[in-house]
Each structure stands twice: as structure tokens, then as C-alpha cells.
Amino acid sequence: MIATEVQNRAGATGAGSAAMQEPSPPDAILEMRGITKRFQGVTALQDVQLRVQPGEIHAVCGENGAGKSTLMKVLSGVYPHPEYEGAIVFDGQERRFTGIADSERAGVIIIHQELALVPLLSIAENIFLGHEPARFGIIDRAAAHVRARELLAKVGLAETPDTLIGDLGVGKQQLVEIAKALAKDVRLLILDEPTASLNERDSKALLELLLQLKARGIACILISHKLNEVAHVADAVTVLRDGRSITTIDCREHPANEDVIIRAMVGREMADRYPKRKFGPGAVRFELQNWSARHPEHPDRKAVHDVNLTVRRGEIVGIAGLMGAGRTELAMSAFGHSWGTGIRGVAQVDGQTVDVSTVPRAIAAGLAYVTEDRKGLGLILDDSIARNTSLAHLRGVARRGVIDDGLEHAVATTYRQRLATRCSGIAQSVSHLSGGNQQKVVLAKWLFTEPKVLILDEPTRGIDVGAKFEIYSLIAKLAEEGMAVLMISSEMPELLGMCDRLYVMNEGRIVAELSAAEATQERIMRAIVSANPV
């Protein structure tokens, strides 16, 4: 099944230099040979090899921190030559890209997980931003409009070129990014976690588009933690671990196997994707009664309709539903009315009605909310692990109203050890952590408030399979200690593997409640579909 086993070799620089003298095989559009990249003495990539054929979808997998993004930044010129060692051979010629513009001129286009689009500009303006069609030095808007229509048709978007990016969902914005790449005559398209924020329908549409681009001869490098998607579209899979290329799997000879990929990624077997738990729920700890919320920008529209739910001590309760079902809106409205207007209903903790009308009051009542957007709403990226850990409970590290740096250091150190956060120290900026370790800092921030109810919104989004298991184990342990856990996830296997009970939401309403024994993906989808108005 494993077609090529790339051995870790000593003398990476020498091996890379020798490889530079060899001609590129005629069927390879890209070869990265002996790529080594260091940051202030830390080796992020060591003698990495990558080979991509024309019209091939080549997946790059690995745990967070394995070096995937660093490798792609080397390829796309973000880290220009000579800031790395080794050789990049593209289209039969050795290339030394000096920046992103240089790599784009060669036809190498990268689409990052955080989309580079301007919300207040139109689709056409975004597609041609920086290389606008012009006549006599004046932007030719008519030509841009015509060309944009052609590109939108290629990616399957029916919107007009004048549509504002801010009026599109994330799935359609991804398609605009691909149209933008096609406008630059892309020959090798790099996508970094393109479906991380998409629902199942949009993810499927994007993967089908990649297959269409493949049929047109466009090569694609796909970075993804969703191994089922990798198995569906990839012709080959290269696995990185600790900055080294471990293996390349040729999926054309043998169908991709998730277990083989996982074993290569983490260096060990993972027979169980989810921790084993002994479920013994206690009394009801958290309850919402007739909870409703209206859209903040459209007060005449209800986004959450008369929701009733309960979570017991020691219970993990999931909320399933498609994108836009109202799950995040429900969670944020319950946590300090941080989303919505006209919010009504009763919230109870341990049988007592509590005031959750502001975030401080919700925290005082025993609620904690781990947002789905850890970079935008969960963390201050430029600040340290220590500062982020204490952020939600500053009184806990203060003496007479003044932050005690020693106490803050002790608290952050305790949670770093408890959650096994991998970092150089608690003074390290969280922006330099992997996604899994960033999520541990977010969890540490809320655990420091000593909550009774933990609301988790997409807790493993953008996290690799090894880090996911660590997060799952922590959630299971918190439940065993008596915490009530309410978990929102777009990944049904995650909900089925972790939850003791499930609520299904659709269009702001609870449309089904299923025990763990009753719940299947088919039943969940049937509940959603049957609830849709005809």
C-alpha cells in the first residue's frame, strides 16, 4: 500500500545539493528535493521530498506542527530563496522564487485557510485585485465583468460579478478564491484546509470542483485533516511528521486507507479514535426553557425558536445540524447574550434560574463557551500563553486589584502541564502554536473560571487526528469529573463517538432528540430532511 518510503537521512544539505544536479522526471510538474528550513536554530523542515505529477491531486497530511504549511510557504515564495536549503524544480526547471508574485507568475497559486478576500468589494473586483484588466491605463470594468462571468461559470457559481463578497457564504467564497486562481493561469493550485469551515454540502461541491480541475490538467496540492475527503479525491498522499517526509502513498495503485495514513502521521496505531468512557449522569445541571433569539441585523427574523434542552452532570450532549441551523446562534445567545436580540427564555444551573444577560454574569453563573473561531474570538494571538490563560478570570490572578505576575505564571504553568500543551514556555506567543495547542490554551482559559457548564463549538476544527484524540480525552475527563458538556460539531462521526445524547437542530428549532444507542448519521439526516418545509 505504501509505494514510497522516504528514509530520514543525515546530511540533508549535501543530499539536497546532489539532488539539484539531477534532471526532473518528464512526468513531474513539481519536485521539492531535500527541503530544509530553520527558524532561529529550530529545524522546521528536514530533507523533505515532494513530487507532484500534472493533473494530480496530491494530499499532504500530518499532525499540526508537522511542517505542512511551512513547506507550502517555501513552495509559494513566502519564504524566498535562499532562506531554505534544497531545490524546487517546477515544470522541468529549477526555480528560486523571490516572493508570492514570482511563484504566481510561474502558475503556482496558494489559497490559505483564512481567505484573502475583501468583503466590501465585488466578486469581479476581488478576482482581479492587483492585476485588473486595463485599456490605456484605465481599468476596463466591462472586460473584467465578462471575464469574471466566464470564471464563475467554471467554478459553478451562479452569482453575478457585481455581488459583494460579504454577501456570500464561506463555501461560495472558497469558489471565488479558486476563480481568482484560474484568472492567474494556475498550473499548480495549493489549498490549505479548504473545507475546514464548510458544511457537508459545500465540502462535497468543492471536492467535485477539484476533480474537474484535475480533468483539465491542473495539479493540486491539498492539505487537509479530513482523511475521508483525502481518500475520496487524492491520487497520492505524502505524510509529514516532525518536519520530515515519512512516506508517499500512491492511491492509484492502492486505495487510500485512513488507518495507514493515521499510523504514518502519529507514528502509532490508533485503534480507537475516541476515548472509552463510563457514562453515569447525575442530576440536571444545565437547562434552557423556551429559549428564543432574533437576528441582530434583522430583528423581524427569529434565528432560535423556543428551544428546550437539558444537560446532566457528567453528560456530553451534542447538537447536530447543517450549517445555518442555528447551533452557534443558540450557544452564543445563551452565553451572555453575545449574539442576537430580543432574547427570551429561562436558563437554569443546578435547578436555579440564573442571569446570563451579559458575559460576566454568564461566567458567574458557571457557564463557559469555547468559540468555533479560536483565532478571531478565542485568543489574543500576539499575547502570551500566560496572559491568554488568565484572560477570562483576571480576579483569580490579582491581589488588591493588581495582576500578580507570579500568580499568573503559576496558574498558566499548572494548566500547561494539565493539558500537556506543547510550547517553549508560557511566555511564548500563542500565534506560534499549532492549532491543537492553541485550542488547549482556549480550554485552559475557560477551565480556569471553574465552570459547571462547558459549551464547545466545533472544538476540533482544523486540528489533526492526534491532537483531536487529546482534546477528546480531556473532554471525557471533564465529564467524568461532573461537568456538563454541550458540544456542537459539524462532523457527525465526532458527535456519535463522543456524545451520550444528541439534539438535532434545523432552522433554529430542535427537531429531534436521540440517545447514543439510537443515533446514526442516517437518522440525524432523516430528522433534518423531514423537518424541512416542502
Residue with cell 488588591: 400
Q: What pLDDT does residue 434 have?
A: 80
Domain 284-531 matching CATH 3.40.1190.20: the answer reads: no
Show the 3-state SS of 88-129.
EEECCEEECCCCHHHHHHHCEEEECCCCCCCCCCEHHHHHCC
pLDDT per residue as tens, the chain (534 positions): 333 333 333 333 333 333 344 444 447 899 999 999 987 667 889 999 999 999 999 999 887 668 888 899 999 999 998 899 999 999 989 999 999 889 999 999 988 877 788 999 999 999 998 888 888 888 888 999 999 999 898 888 889 999 999 888 877 888 898 888 888 888 999 988 888 767 777 788 888 888 988 998 999 999 987 888 888 899 999 999 888 999 898 888 877 677 778 777 766 555 567 888 877 788 999 999 999 999 988 888 889 999 999 999 999 999 998 767 899 999 999 999 999 999 999 999 999 999 999 999 999 999 999 998 888 889 999 999 999 999 999 999 999 889 999 999 999 999 999 988 888 899 999 988 888 889 999 999 999 999 999 999 999 887 777 778 888 999 999 999 999 999 999 888 889 999 999 999 988 999 999 999 999 888 887 887 665 433
| pLDDT for res 228 | 81
| CA angle (46, 8, 89) in 5-degree steps | 55
Evaluate the omega torsion of the peptide bond into residue 23 and state whether it is cis, within 30 degrees of 0.
no
Q: Which residues of 49-84 are buried (b: 16+ CB within 10 A; e: fewer)?
A: bbbbeeebbbbbbbbbbbbbbbbbbbbbbbbbbeeb
| DSSP annotation string for 323-361 | TTSSHHHHHHHHTTT-S-EEEEEEEEETTEE---SSHHH
- Measured CA to CA, the distance from residue 145 to residue 136 in angstroms comes to 18
Q: Using the Cα atoms of residue 295, residue 299, residue 300 and residue 306 in order, give the sign of their dihedral.
A: positive
Cβ neighbours, 10 Å, residue 490: 22
The span from the CA of 357 to the CA of 346, in Å, is 11
Would you say 232 and 203 are in contact if contact means Cβ atoms under 8 Å apart? no
CB atoms within 10 A of CB 131: 12
Bridge pairing between strands 4-5 and 134-135: unpaired
User: Residue 23's pLDDT is what?
Assistant: 46
Helix intervals (H) in 234-326: 258-266
